[in-house]
């Protein structure tokens, strides 16, 4: 039988958070690491890592993150410091402010867009 080893929890390493399909959250989320939404969030989200909205994921509220990949539905303002990637199944309704934008054919987007050039289009909020 193979010996099983477990790594001790290291709070200095950002954790991956998953909101599963069928889960509904009403309220705001703040994550220091990466987060994946396959359920529904009705509220604002701030993620210092990468935010992934799965094909069945839905966010109604504002998004602030370093990187965002959307394959599901969003309604509200999106602010992304680095790259916003809209997959072919994405439905994005609302204004976006991004450093860079990647859009696959088939995605739906209704809103205004501001992209960075020489300086970032969006500066992350200062933490206290």
117 domain-assigned: no
62 domain-assigned: yes
3-class secondary-structure state, position 78: strand
Asked whether the predicted pLDDT for residue 26 surpasses 80, the reply is yes
Query: How many domains does one find in the chain?
Result: 1
34-81 pLDDT, tens per residue? 999 999 999 999 999 999 999 999 999 999 999 999 999 999 999 999
Higher pLDDT, 32 or 107: 107
Cβ(34)–Cβ(14) under 8 Å?
yes
Instruction: Tell me what pLDDT residue 125 has.
Output: 63
Instruction: Tell me what pLDDT residue 91 has.
Output: 98
Buried b (16+ CB within 10 A) or exposed e, 19-47: beeeeeeeeebebeebbbbbbbbeebbbb
99 domain-assigned: yes
Instruction: Tell me what pLDDT residue 123 has.
Output: 62
3-class secondary-structure state, position 35: strand
Asked whether the predicted pLDDT for residue 5 surpasses 90, the reply is no
Q: pLDDT class for 116, splitting at 50, 70, 90?
A: confident
90-108 pLDDT, tens per residue? 999 999 999 999 999 999 9
CA angle 45, 128, 40 (to 5 degrees): 10
Instruction: Tell me what pLDDT residue 16 has.
Output: 79
Residue 43: which domain range? 17-105
């Amino acid at each position: 039988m193979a010996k099983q080893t477990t790594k001790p929890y290291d709070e200095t390493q950002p954790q991956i958070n998953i909101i599963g399909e069928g889960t509904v959250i009403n309220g705001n989320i703040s994550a220091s690491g990466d987060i994946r939404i396959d359920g529904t969030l009705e509220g604002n989200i701030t993620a210092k890592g990468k935010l992934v909205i799965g094909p069945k994921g839905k966010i109604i509220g504002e998004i602030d993150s370093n990187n965002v990949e959307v394959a599901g539905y969003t309604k509200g303002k999106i602010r992304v410091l680095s790259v916003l990637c809209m997959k072919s199944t994405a439905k994005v309704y609302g204004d976006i402010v991004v450093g860079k934008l990647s859009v696959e054919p088939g995605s739906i987007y209704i809103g205004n867009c501001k992209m960075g050039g020489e300086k970032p289009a969006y500066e992350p909020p200062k933490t206290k």
